[in-house]
Chain A
Amino acid sequence: MLEVKDLHSYYGQAHVLQGASLTVGASEVVALLGRNGMGKTSLIRSVMGLSSPQVRGGAVTWKERSLLAMKPHQIARARIGYVPQGRRLFPSLTVTEHLTVLKSPDVTHGWTVERAFELFPRLAERRQHRGSQLSGGERQMLAVARALMIDPELILMDEPSEGLAPVMVQHLESIIAELKAQGLAILLVEQNLYSALAVADRVVVLESGKTVFEAKAGSFAPDTLTHYLGVH
């Protein structure tokens, strides 16, 4: 469904993606791994069409359509959901408003506000709270719930486990498994190899903005990646 081919992106003069490639199939969970600064977030932002980094070469296609000339809101409406790094919730909005701002509460098909609350009962208890009043785990749940409001077929998740307690990381893994079971594809940026292997069908490793390793989860010994990822 999603194909990133030989992508080159720049922050000003800095050449951050130097030929990154990956694919995500329908209902597939792909983990994007790599150390800090290797281009994982740059790749996600390039796919999402955000104004930096600037894409200057390569191709991003989604269901045979190029995403490169499209604006972020058009890419989102093509049913690509986005969970940004650091959550990026809206401090002025309540939990409920984070969802209703993207989808009228009257809508009854697809991901409704109520269905999101069923998936995340903790959020339902905090409907009127503001994003800033939530715990780290609840914030991440809200960021995922918000991404569901556009009825995505693919969700780009940028380090959702960052800063979460181990028990919350496990909860997140179960949510990812649940979403996959419902037919969603997920491109998951991770720093932790073992957390990624717990949920991913396939693993892609970036180093210095290039794809240097790609394999099905379980088809390789995790130790072979130590070279790319450092010690875990």
Chain B
Amino acid sequence: MSLFSLLNGLTFAALLFIVASGFTLIFGLLRIVNLAHGALYLFGGLVGYSAAAATGSFLAGIAAGMGAAALLGVALDRGLLRFVRGFELRQVLLTLGVAFVLNDLALVIWGGDTLTVPMPEALQGAMEIGPVFYPKYRLFVLGLGIFVFAGLWFLLHRTRLGALIRAGVDDPETIEAMGVDIRRVFLGTFMLGAALAGLGGVIGGAFLTLYPSADSEILVFSLAVVIIGGRGSLVGAGVGALLVGLLNSFGQVLFPELAYFAIFGPMALLLAFRPLGLFGKAA
């Protein structure tokens, strides 16, 4: 029972990390609280659902979901956010508006039914882990979360592009004055962050299903992860996702009526003592 809850918490944390890592990349580098991130999750998931259903390939679904979210990210950044650069409140309101528009658009295209991304046969069924049988697919999600963490960590800390992104997070004006077109780096980061939301949508859509309010639910969880972990911190997103995932899982079992409080109570307490989150740095 408790091992089952632990695994549930860990696998949900892995999904949360995938989504929240994209959120924190965009938040950290572009200083944009992208409230459309949940909508990108839902939209990417739905596009992935259609692609997977049409082709019968889960991988095609992932590619389509990530691609669609990345394209939406470009359109959002180049088409809308460029007009409100530097105005935080306007950015927040703009992305919130986009979230509503995308949510309605999804309702028009896919209807209000609950949809499940078809998972590949190899990942169906359960496997035995000690005393419990656990769904293979959720273990795959856990593995993917770890893989995404490792991949992002390598990108950020072992490549030149990653060093550019970190320099851009630290001081965009100075890196630009050193001859770097930081706008292009920003756009690439925005695309990557959006694609991660799309990836989360397809992956999550196969075990949590996709429904009209899935976008705001995942957004709230992602916000909690990023606020706990600290803006722009990959390790923070990882630790935050683990905390939120486990609190959610055990909270649902131990005090189901208070499951949300089990997450947001500790978050409020943490913020009282560390306003920038566990790994956050002052701007």
User: Which of A's residues lie within 8 Å of B, judged by CB?
Assistant: 48, 50-51, 71-73, 75-77, 82, 84, 88, 90-93, 97, 100-102, 104, 146-147, 149-150
New A-B pairs, 18, CB < 8 Å, besides A71-B176, A82-B177:
A72-B176, A73-B176, A73-B179, A73-B181, A76-B176, A76-B177, A76-B179, A77-B179, A88-B171, A90-B171, A90-B174, A90-B175, A92-B167, A101-B160, A101-B163, A101-B180, A104-B160, A146-B178
> Interface size for chain B: under 10, 10 to 19, 20 to 34, or 35 or more residues?
10 to 19
The closest CB in chain A to the CB of B184 belongs to: A73
> Is B169 on the interface with A (CB-CB < 8 A)?
yes
Tell me the bound Cα distance from A51 to B164 in angstroms. Answer: 20
The 3 closest A-B pairs by CB, nearest first: A76-B179, A92-B166, A101-B163
Question: Main secondary structure on chain A at its contact with chain B?
Answer: loop
Residues of A within 8 A of B180 (CB): 73, 101-102
The 8 A CB mask of B149-188 against A (1 = contact, 0 = none) is 0000000000010011011011101111111111000000
Contacting A150 at CB < 8 Å: which of B170, B173, B176, B178? B178
Can you list 16 A-B contacts (CB < 8 A)?
A50-B177, A71-B181, A73-B176, A73-B182, A76-B176, A76-B178, A76-B179, A82-B177, A82-B178, A90-B167, A90-B175, A91-B170, A100-B163, A101-B160, A101-B164, A147-B178
Number of A-B residue pairs having CB atoms within 8 Å of each other in the complex: 63
* Contact in complex: B179, A150 (CB < 8 Å): yes
**What's the nearest-Cβ distance from chain B to residue A44, in Å?**
10
The closest CB in chain A to the CB of B86 belongs to: A51
Known: A73-B182, A100-B160. A93 touches B177 (CB 8 A): no
Residues of A within 8 A of B181 (CB): 71, 73
* Contact in complex: A92, B173 (CB < 8 Å): no
* Contact in complex: B177, A90 (CB < 8 Å): no
Contacting A90 at CB < 8 Å: which of B170, B179, B182? B170
The closest CB in chain B to the CB of A102 belongs to: B178
Known: A91-B170, A92-B170. A73 touches B160 (CB 8 A): no
Most buried by B among A50, A71, A72, A100: A72
* Contact in complex: A90, B173 (CB < 8 Å): no
**What's the nearest-Cβ distance from chain B to residue A35, in Å?**
25
Residues of B within 8 A of A91 (CB): 170, 281
The 8 A CB mask of B23-41 against A (1 = contact, 0 = none) is 0000000000000000000
Residues of B within 8 A of A75 (CB): 177
Contacting B173 at CB < 8 Å: which of A50, A97, A147? A50
* Contact in complex: B163, A84 (CB < 8 Å): no
Residues of A within 8 A of B164 (CB): 101
**What's the nearest-Cβ distance from chain B to residue A91, in Å?**
6
Most buried by B among A51, A92, A100: A92
Residues of B within 8 A of A50 (CB): 173, 177
**What's the nearest-Cβ distance from chain B to residue A207, in Å?**
26
Contacting A84 at CB < 8 Å: which of B166, B169, B177? B177
Residues of B within 8 A of A77 (CB): 179
Tell me the bound Cα distance from A101 to B162 in angstroms. Answer: 9
Residues of B within 8 A of A84 (CB): 174, 177
Most buried by A among B171, B179, B281: B179
**What's the nearest-Cβ distance from chain A to residue B184, in Å?**
9
Tell me the bound Cα distance from A71 to B180 in angstroms. Answer: 10
**What's the nearest-Cβ distance from chain A to residue B66, in Å?**
27
Tell me the bound Cα distance from A92 to B168 in angstroms. Answer: 10
Tell me the bound Cα distance from A168 to B121 in angstroms. Answer: 68
**What's the nearest-Cβ distance from chain A to residue B279, in Å?**
12
Residues of B within 8 A of A92 (CB): 166-167, 169-170
